[in-house]
Amino acid sequence: MSLVRRGPPEAQGMAVSNMLFSDVESFLDSHPDLFEDYLNRKGNYSMVEKWLKNHRASKGPAAAAPAAEPREEKGNACKDSWASRSDGLQRRASQKELRKTFARSKAINVNRTYDEHVNSRAQEPLTSMRRRALLRKASSLPPTTAHILSALLESRVNIPQYPATAVDFKYYLKEHSEREFFLELVKDISNDLDLTSLSYKILVFVCIMVDADRCSLFLVEGTGNKKTLVSKFFDVHAGTTVLPSMNSDEVQVPWGKGIIGYVAEHGETVNIPDAYQDRRFSDEIDKLTGYKTKSLLCMPIRNSDGEIIGVAQAINKTSSRELFTEDDEKVLQMYLPFCGIAISNAQLFAASRKEYDRSRALLEVVNDLFEEQTDLEKIVRKIMHRAQTLLKCERCSVQLLEDIESPVVKFTKSFELLSPKCSADTESSFKDSMEKSSYSDWLINNSIAELVASTGLPVNISDAYQDPRFDAEADQFSDFHIRSVLCVPIWNSNHQIIGVAQVLNRLDGKPFDDADQRLFEAFVIFCGLGINNTIMYDQVKKSWAKQSVALDVLSYHATCSKTEVDKFKAANIPLVCELGIDKLSFDDFSLDVDVMITAALRMFIELGMVQKFKIDYETLCRWLLTVRKNYRMVLYHNWRHAFNVCQCMFAMLTTAGFQETLTELEILALIVGCVCHDLDHRGTNNAFQAKTGSALALLYGTSATLEHHHFNHAVMILQSEGHNIFSNLSSTEYSDLMQLLKQSILATDLTLYFEKRNTFFELVSKGEYNWNVKAHRDMCRSMMMTACDLGAVTKPWEISRKVAELVTSEFFEQGDRERLELKLTPSAIFDRNRKDELPGLQLEWIDGICSPLYETLVKLNPKLQPMVDMIRANRANWEELNKKRQSEQSVSDPTGPYSAETTETKSCTGAKPGNTPCCGGDSESTPPKTAS
Residues catalogued as catalytic: 637
User: How open is the CA angle 755-761-764, to the nearest 5 degrees?
Assistant: 140
According to DSSP, residue 236 is labeled B
Residue whose C-alpha is closest to residue 249's, from 485, 9, 509: 509
Q: Which residues contact 717 (CB under 8 A, 6 or more apart)?
A: 623, 626, 627, 630, 676, 679, 723
Q: Which residues contact 909 (CB under 8 A, 6 or more apart)?
A: none
According to DSSP, residue 489 is labeled E
* Gap between the Cα atoms of 58 and 749, Å rounded: 95
Q: For residue 812, how many C-alpha atoms fall within 13 Å in the half-sphere facing its CB?
A: 14
CB 659 within 8 A of CB 607: yes
Contacts of range 402-409, beta carbons closer than 8 Å, 24 or more positions apart: 404/492, 404/496, 404/497, 404/498, 409/450, 409/453, 409/454
* Gap between the Cα atoms of 481 and 188, Å rounded: 45
- How close are the terminal C-alpha atoms of the chain, in Å? 124
* Gap between the Cα atoms of 447 and 444, Å rounded: 8
* Gap between the Cα atoms of 676 and 785, Å rounded: 12
Q: Which residues contact 257 (CB under 8 A, 6 or more apart)?
A: 282
* Gap between the Cα atoms of 519 and 359, Å rounded: 9
Residue whose C-alpha is closest to residue 677's, from 718, 716, 636, 631: 631
Residue whose C-alpha is closest to residue 924's, from 685, 694, 642: 685
Q: Report the 10 Å Cβ neighbour count for 126.
A: 17
Q: Which residues contact 887 (CB under 8 A, 6 or more apart)?
A: 900
Give the residues across from 452 on adjacent strands: none
Residue whose C-alpha is closest to residue 606's, from 581, 586, 626: 581
* Gap between the Cα atoms of 818 and 825, Å rounded: 7
Q: For residue 839, how many C-alpha atoms fall within 13 Å in the half-sphere facing its CB?
A: 17
Q: H/E element holding 315?
A: strand 308-317
CB 356 within 8 A of CB 153: yes
Query: In 726-791, which ranges are E strands?
Result: none
| Residues 13-37: b if buried by 16+ CB within 10 A, e if exposed | eeeeeeeeeeeeeeeeeeeeeeeee
Residue whose C-alpha is closest to residue 920's, from 831, 838, 844, 850: 850
Residue whose C-alpha is closest to residue 499's, from 645, 417, 401, 633: 401
Using CB atoms within 10 Å of the CB of residue 87, give its burial: 0 to 12 exposed, 13 to 18 middle, 19+ buried. exposed
DSSP assignment of 329-376, as one string? Answer: HHHHHHHHHHHHHHHHHHHHHHHHHHHHHHHHHHHHHHHHHHH--S-H
CB 485 within 8 A of CB 479: no
SS3 call for 309: strand
| Residues 572-603: b if buried by 16+ CB within 10 A, e if exposed | ebeebeebbbbebebebeebeeeebbbbbbbb
